[in-house]
């Protein structure tokens, strides 16, 4: 079996491009199956895993129209994954309720489908969402046009290239189209490790884009004895936060910092020992570097956000943070929780000041934090009622994750 690998695909963990020649050139005329009941002529497929998501790209010689893949008439393009010790899983794209949908075993798979050109469909989904396992898989593709009945499929026991030789007028075209025609591709589903994030844009920010009602909760000065309770509360509320941690407190609380990331929160740098670094200088650089090293040792993750202690900042400090791949982040909403003004006051100030793109400052360490903890669910529910959604700071700023793929 021949599986030519396109050069553009080499960065991918698994990637094959099926040869179009067998399907389209042998009979001379390219196949077109615009009518219902014909074969859907998928001539190439490529697989890749750039990030958490597996990407499958199907290309055809013709427009892949909603009609061709109408779910009600059985239209679909499926990639079948055969993995050791589990039953084969078909992950299919179909058209239903006016939308492209990814479906596996009759259930919707969360993901996205785009159509960069009319003859191309691009699917992205997390392998776990389709219940695929990390490891090797035998893979093939099966395309069925809408309206293709079982009888038709049986009657048309010719391969596509044979069909192409005979005039389409005298031969019913085959309903199904398989790639590769014989055998399987060999693919690998990788485990995904988030190893960092990638900053861009302004060197220092104090708010996110105001266009949408997204806000970021941030907690400074931990990890502390309070932090596990903050994490439990966030899990209950189903929202993420961003934790600016003190470097020298990380190694003794390594499991707490790991739990932050595991729960979908963001971990960020708040200096080694909360020194005032506003004047910059080489000492500031080593505070930042040592803190990132401690976080990396505990979690494997390298932050891309830094918050200057006391909000004390300056051009030299910002450029030193940027040089280490971090944006300097201040805030736009300050309920002054560290002064312990009472839970009600913290809640009211937070609700009163919040705006689209808001960065809310609070503290999970550095003093008594039960008021801050008590205020959190009230702030979250209050802002949700006003239509706000909660995201990590990296999401708010549109930063991407750095991903490492592991077997
Ligand atoms: Zn602080």
Taking only the tens place, the pLDDT of each residue in 309-347 is 999 999 999 999 999 999 999 999 999 999 999 999 999
pLDDT tens string, the chain, 407 residues long: the values are 333 333 222 223 333 333 322 222 222 233 333 333 445 677 788 888 877 789 999 998 888 989 889 888 888 999 999 998 888 999 999 999 999 999 999 999 999 999 999 999 999 999 989 999 988 999 999 888 887 765 454 444 434 333 333 333 233 345 677 888 788 898 888 887 889 999 999 999 999 999 999 999 999 999 999 999 999 999 999 999 999 999 999 999 999 999 999 999 999 999 999 999 999 999 999 999 999 999 999 999 999 999 999 999 999 999 999 999 999 999 999 999 999 999 999 999 999 999 999 999 999 999 999 999 999 999 999 999 999 999 999 999 999 988 888 77
DSSP state of 190: P
> Is the pTM value of this prediction over 0.85?
no
107, 135: one domain: yes
Q: Which of 130, 163, 190 is the last residue of a domain?
A: 190
Residue 205 has a pLDDT of 98
Same domain, 217 and 366: yes
Q: Under a CB-based contact definition with an 8 Å cutoff, are residues 320 and 288 in contact?
A: yes
Q: How far is the CA of 369 from the centre of ligand 1 (A)?
A: 13
Could you give the number of structural domains in the chain?
2
Closest C-alpha to 35, from 203, 186, 169: 169
Token pair listed for 224:
């502390």
Euclidean distance between CA atoms 120 and 61, whole angstroms: 9
Of 190, 218, 233, the last residue of a domain is 190
- 40-93: per-residue pLDDT in tens? 677 788 888 877 789 999 998 888 989 889 888 888 999 999 998 888 999 999
> What separation in Å is there between the alpha carbon of 246 and the centre of ligand 1?
8
Instruction: Kindly report the backbone phi and psi dihedral angles of residue 246, in degrees, each rounded to the nearest multiple of 5, phi listed first.
Output: -90, 125
Whether 324 and 342 map to the same domain: the answer is yes
Q: Which residues surround ligand 1, an ion (CB under 5 A)?
A: 220-221, 309
Q: What is the pLDDT of residue 53?
A: 87
220 is catalytic: yes
Do 145 and 36 touch, CB atoms closer than 8 A?
A: yes
- Indicate whether 31 and 72 sit together in one domain: yes
Outline where DSSP puts E strands in 223-296: 242-245, 266-269
| Long-range pairs for 113-118: beta carbons < 8 A, 24 or more residues apart | 115/64, 118/63, 118/64, 118/65
Are 208 and 277 members of one domain?
A: yes
Of 151, 170, 190, which closes a domain? 190
Q: Are residues 211 and 129 in the same domain?
A: no
Do 126 and 259 lie in one domain? The reply is: no
279 prior amide bond cis, ω within 30: no
d(CA 191, CA 56): 17
Dihedral sign computed on CA atoms, order 56, 62, 66, 68: negative
Q: Which of 31, 270, 274, 363 is catalytic?
A: 363
For residue 276, how far is its CA from the centre of ligand 1 (angstroms)?
A: 10
The alpha carbon of 274 and the centre of ligand 1 are apart by a number of angstroms equal to: 6
The answer to whether residues 186 and 203 belong to one domain is no
* Predicted local distance difference test score (pLDDT) of residue 32: 34
Q: What is the pLDDT of residue 342?
A: 98
For the stretch 142-157, what's the b/e string if a residue is b when 16 or more beta carbons lie within 10 angstroms of its beta carbon?
bbbbbbbeeebeeebe
Helix (DSSP H) and strand (DSSP E) numbers for the chain: 10, 21
* CATH number assigned to the domain comprising residue 391: 3.20.20.370
- In terms of domains, do 160 and 241 share one? no
Instruction: Give the pLDDT score at 40.
Output: 65
Examine the domain organization and report whether 113 and 206 are in the same domain: no
For the beta carbon of residue 211, count every other beta carbon within 10 angstroms.
Answer: 8
Tokens of 42: 């998928």
Q: 112 with 248, same domain?
A: no
Indicate whether 183 and 204 sit together in one domain: no
Centre of ligand 1 to C-alpha 222, Å, is: 9
The range of the structural domain enclosing residue 240 comes to 199-406
């Amino acid at each position: 079996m021949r599986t030519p690998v396109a050069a553009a695909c080499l960065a991918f963990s698994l990637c094959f491009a099926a040869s179009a020649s067998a399907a389209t050139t042998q009979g001379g005329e390219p196949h077109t199956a615009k009518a219902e009941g014909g074969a859907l002529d998928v001539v190439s497929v490529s697989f890749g895993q750039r990030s958490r998501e597996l990407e499958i790209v199907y290309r055809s010689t013709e427009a892949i129209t909603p009609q061709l893949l109408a779910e009600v008439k059985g239209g679909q393009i499926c990639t079948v994954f055969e993995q050791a010790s589990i039953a084969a899983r078909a992950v299919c794209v179909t058209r239903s309720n006016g939308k492209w949908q990814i479906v596996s075993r009759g259930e919707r798979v969360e993901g996205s489908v785009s159509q960069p050109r009319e003859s191309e469909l691009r699917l992205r989904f997390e392998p776990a969402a389709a219940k695929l396992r990390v490891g090797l898989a035998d893979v093939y593709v099966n395309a069925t046009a809408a309206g293709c009945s079982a009888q038709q499929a049986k009657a048309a026991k010719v391969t596509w290239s044979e069909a192409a030789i005979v005039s389409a007028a005298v031969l019913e075209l085959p309903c199904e189209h398989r790639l590769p025609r014989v055998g399987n591709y060999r693919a690998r589903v990788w485990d995904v490790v988030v190893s960092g994030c990638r900053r861009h844009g302004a060197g220092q920010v104090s708010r996110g884009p105001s266009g949408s009602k997204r806000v970021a909760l941030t907690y400074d000065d931990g990890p502390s004895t309070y932090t596990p309770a903050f994490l439990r509360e966030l899990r209950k509320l189903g929202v993420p936060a961003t934790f600016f941690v003190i470097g020298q407190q990380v190694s003794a609380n390594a499991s707490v910092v790991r739990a932050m990331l595991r729960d979908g929160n963001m971990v960020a740098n708040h200096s080694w020992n909360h020194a005032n670094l506003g004047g910059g200088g080489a000492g500031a650089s080593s505070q930042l570097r040592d803190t990132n090293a401690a976080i990396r040792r505990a979690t494997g993750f390298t932050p891309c956000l830094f918050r200057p202690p006391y909000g004390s900042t300056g051009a030299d400090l910002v450029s030193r943070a940027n040089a280490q791949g971090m944006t300097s982040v201040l805030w736009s909403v300050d309920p002054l929780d560290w002064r312990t003004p009472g839970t009600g006051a913290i809640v009211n100030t937070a609700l009163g000041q919040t705006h689209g793109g808001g960065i809310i400052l609070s503290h999970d360490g550095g003093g008594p934090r039960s008021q801050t903890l008590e205020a959190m669910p009230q702030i979250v529910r209050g802002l949700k009622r006003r239509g706000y959604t909660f995201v990590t700071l990296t999401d708010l700023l549109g930063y991407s994750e750095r991903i490492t793929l592991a077997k």
